[in-house]
Structure formats: structure tokens, C-alpha cells
Structure 1
């Protein structure tokens, strides 16, 4: 199961993602947590210290990971022609959640045998004036498309705030996308826009809106009215979480007054894995769209031949 958390900046999506990771760990699941936000908050909330050299998007790491994923796939003419939407093919290596997996062993922080944390990275001084975070996320797209999960495995991703997932293939890479919304006009407007774009992209059914920082019944009514329906679940204002953050320590599931919202999210996601045929069709469309871009042809040639049939 691959689940993403997104929403307006400051909505609490990173904190909710961290709590959900903790809930899954306590339930005995294997979990890969991926911090894909430019602010790199999820890793810190899980107690992981990040460095530029360890970031998945560091050029050396990108090459290592893509070289491993490429394997002996004859449809890709070398790692230089590995693009964001390059699909696995014959001879490709897939990433598993086994602790000994080369990608996890080489690039993730191990919290325990069943829990690992990866961080994509952020802007660095050398990126000023010439960098784009969408480019950083390309290696995450590669990782997600080359995953092989066992039953009960989870990937939990903290996404970039807002609707940036529609600038690449990430909106098609998950089974569930949780949009975290506060009871404020700015936050619900992001949730509504995310829903509009998801409908246009053919993935509206993947979305689940979760209310956060809800103080009372008026807040609940506001979310329901402005979103055109009740959220999947809501988290009320949590004094325990606030105190943990004020002390500068990672939030824990035990800091919640009630873990029911986390259980509701897990129950909603259970069994909602996207059928392989549907994901293949979505990713094929996105790959061909990217293949038609002039800059892709100039840099990588005709990458449409990376598909099984063109």
C-alpha cells in the first residue's frame, strides 16, 4: 500500500504522516517513510537527521539508485536515458522493504528491521537560480515505479505542499492520497483545487480529505460545507502534540487523545491498492506525454521505446 499526505503548507500533513508511520509500526507493519517535501520535516519528526550527501536526489545517489534499478533492462540505453517515468522492464531490479535491499541498505535510515526512512532532499546553495524541486522528485518517481511490496507493506510519503504532484507522475503513483485540510479558507481552497486536478487526471477516487486542528463543531461544519461533504475523519486540536513539538521532540502516537483517526485512515486505505492494469495505463500515458517534450528528445532521444509496446 502506497499512501501520500499532502495539503496546504502548515496544515499538519507532515505531523500526521509521522503519526501514521508510528501507528503502522505499532501495528507490526513494514514501513518505508519517504520525506518528499522541500522543507524536509517528516524525517526530523521521525527522529532522523538529514544531510545533503544522504539525500536521494544527490547526483551521486541518483546515479547509484538508477544504475541498480536499470539492471539488465534492454529497453533503456544506459542510465543517462533513465527519465522520471521510465518503467521497469525485463532485467530491471525492483526495490523491496527487506532490510538487506540495496537501495534501503545504501540510502535509508533504519529505525528498526521493518522501518526505514528516505529523504529526497531540498534546495542547496548550488541550486540557487538554476534548480527546480520537480527535478529532485524524479528519483522518487523512479523508486515508486520500481517497488515490489508484500502484503502488509506500506510506503508513507510526505509530499510537497499544494498541488505540485500534478507537475509529474506522483499523483498516479499512490493508492491513496490524503489531503490534510484545516478549517480555514486557504486550506480548504487547496483541498478543493487538489480534487479538481485529481478529477482531470483520472485519480479523483484516490483522494481522502482529513480535517486537522479542528476545535469544535463549528469547525467540523465549516469543513463539511466548504468541501461539499464530510471529511474522512478529523483530528481535533491536540495539546499533547503541541507540547511535544514545543519540547522539540518527535510526536508520538501516545501524544494523541484518541488514535481513532489514524485507524480510520488505515481502514480506508486497506484493500484499495490500485490494480496493476490501471496504474500501467496511467503511467504509460504520462511516459508518452513526457517523451514528446522537446527537451526530453534532445537530452535522451526517443524514450517512448522504453515501453513494452509503442
Structure 2
């Protein structure tokens, strides 16, 4: 299962993602935690230093990951033709959550034998005035599309705040997208906009809103009214969690008075049908292939697609 946490900046999405990772760990699941926020918050919340050299978007790591994924797939034509939506094909290597998977060994930090953490990276000084975080996320798109998950495996991604997932293929890569919303006008407006874009992109059904920092029934009623219905789950204001964060300590399940919201999210998630995802990704690949900058930099990448399934 692949699940993303997003929402307005400051909504608590990174903290909720970290708590959800720990919830899955406590249940004995295999987990790959992905910090895809430009601010690199999830990795430290899990006790991992987000070093620039270890970032997936570091040029050396991008080439290493893509070279591995290509395998003997002749449809791609080399690393220089690997674009964000390049699909796996005959001979491609897929990434698993097994502890000995080469990608995890080279690029992930192990919290325990069943839990690994990777981070995409952030802006560096060299990027000032000439960098775009969307470009950093391309390697995450490649990783997600080349995953092979067993039953019970989880990928938990802390996404960049706001609606940036619709600028690339990430909105089609997850089985569940959790929009974390505080009971404030700014936060619910982001949740509503996410819902609108998800509908336009054909993934409205994989979207769920979870309330956070909810103090009382007035907050619950506000979220239900502004969102047009009650959130999937609600995490109330947690004094223990706030004290832990004020002390600079990674959040723990023990800091929560009530972890039912995490259980509700896990129970709600359902895998997207493989055929549906393939069709979504095929459409997005053809759309990207038609861009002038893609044709100029990578050539005709439509040939990377196999025949349309009958």
C-alpha cells in the first residue's frame, strides 16, 4: 500500500506521517518512509539525519537509482532518456522492501530490519535562482512506479505542502492520499482545492481528509461544515505530543492519548487496481512526452510504453 500525507504547511502532516510510520512498525509491517517535503521534516521526526549527499535527488544518486531500474529494458534507451513518468518494461528491475534490496542498501537508512527511510532532498545553495523542486521529485516518481510490494508492505510519503502533487504524476501513484486539515479557513481551503483537483485528475476516490489539532466539538463541527462532511478521522490536540515536539524529541505513539485516527487511516486504505493505475500513468506519460522541453532533452519517449493491454 502506498499512502501520502499532504496539506497546508503547518497542518501537522509530517508529524502525522511519522506517527503513522510508527503505528505500522508497531504492527510489524514492512515500511518504506519517504520524506518528499522540501523542508525535510519526516526524516528527522523518525530520527534520521537528512544529509544532502544521501538525498535521492543528488545527481549521483539519481543516476545510480535510474541505472539500476533500467536493468535490461531496451525501451528506455539509457539513463539520459529516463523521464519522470518512464514506466517499467521488459527487463526493468523493481524495488522491493526486502532489507537486502540494492536500492535500500545504497540509499535508505534502516530504523530496523523492516523499516527504511529515504529523503528526496531540498534546495541547496547552488540551486538559488535556478532550481525547481519539481525536478527533485522526478526521481521519487521513478522509484514509486518501479516498486513491487508484497501484501502488508507500506510506503508512507510525506509530500510537499499544498497541491504540487498535481504538477507531476504523484497524484496517480498512491493508493490513498491523506490531506491533513486543521480547523482553520486556510487549511480547509487547501483541502477543498485538493479535492477539486483530485476530481479533475480522476483520483477523487483515493483522497481522504483527516482533521488535526482538533480541540473540541466546535472544531469538529467546523471541519464537517467547511468540508461538506466529517473527516475520515480526527486527531485531537495532544499535550503529550506537543511537549515531545517542544523538547525536540521525535513523536512516539506513547505521546498520544488516542491513536484511533491512525488505525482508521490504515483500515481505510485500499490498493488501486493495477490496470487503472497503468492507464493513469500511460496517459500522464503521453502528456509529458508531448512537451517540447521533453522532446528536446530526451527525444521521443513514447516508445518507452509497451502495447496497450487488450
> TM-score range, shorter-chain basis?
over 0.9
Matched, 1:279 2:277: yes
Uncovered stretches (5+) of structure 2, i.e. residues with no partner: none
CA–CA distance in structure 2, aligned partners of residues 50 and 79 of structure 1:
25
Residue 50 of structure 1, CA deviation: 1.4
CA–CA distance in structure 1, aligned partners of residues 49 and 64 of structure 2:
21
Query: In structure 2, the residue corresponding to 1:91 is in which secondary structure?
Result: coil
Query: In structure 2, the residue corresponding to 1:31 is in which secondary structure?
Result: strand
For each residue in 1:147-200, what CA deviation from the matched residue of structure 2 results, as whole angstroms up to 9, or x when unmatched? 000000000000000000000000000000000000000000000000000000
| Residue in structure 2 matched with residue 96 of structure 1 by the alignment | 96
Residue 309 of structure 1, CA deviation: 2.6
| Residue in structure 1 matched with residue 259 of structure 2 by the alignment | 259
CA–CA distance in structure 2, aligned partners of residues 18 and 209 of structure 1:
17
Q: How many residues align?
A: 308
Query: In structure 2, the residue corresponding to 1:279 is in which secondary structure?
Result: helix
| Aligned counterparts, 1:1-310, within 5 A | 1-269=1-269, 272-309=270-307
Query: In structure 2, the residue corresponding to 1:134 is in which secondary structure?
Result: helix
Instruction: Give the CA RMSD over aligned residues.
Output: 0.6
For each residue in 1:50-97, what CA deviation from the matched residue of structure 2 results, as whole angstroms up to 9, or x when unmatched? 111000000000000000000000101111000000000000000000
Residue 129 of structure 1, CA deviation: 0.6
Query: In structure 1, the residue corresponding to 2:130 is in which secondary structure?
Result: coil
Normalising by structure 1, we get a TM-score of: 0.99
Query: In structure 2, the residue corresponding to 1:90 is in which secondary structure?
Result: coil
Uncovered stretches (5+) of structure 1, i.e. residues with no partner: none
Residue 128 of structure 1, CA deviation: 0.6
Query: In structure 1, the residue corresponding to 2:174 is in which secondary structure?
Result: coil
CA–CA distance in structure 1, aligned partners of residues 164 and 91 of structure 2:
32
Normalising by structure 2, we get a TM-score of: 0.99
Query: In structure 1, the residue corresponding to 2:166 is in which secondary structure?
Result: helix
CA–CA distance in structure 2, aligned partners of residues 283 and 9 of structure 1:
28
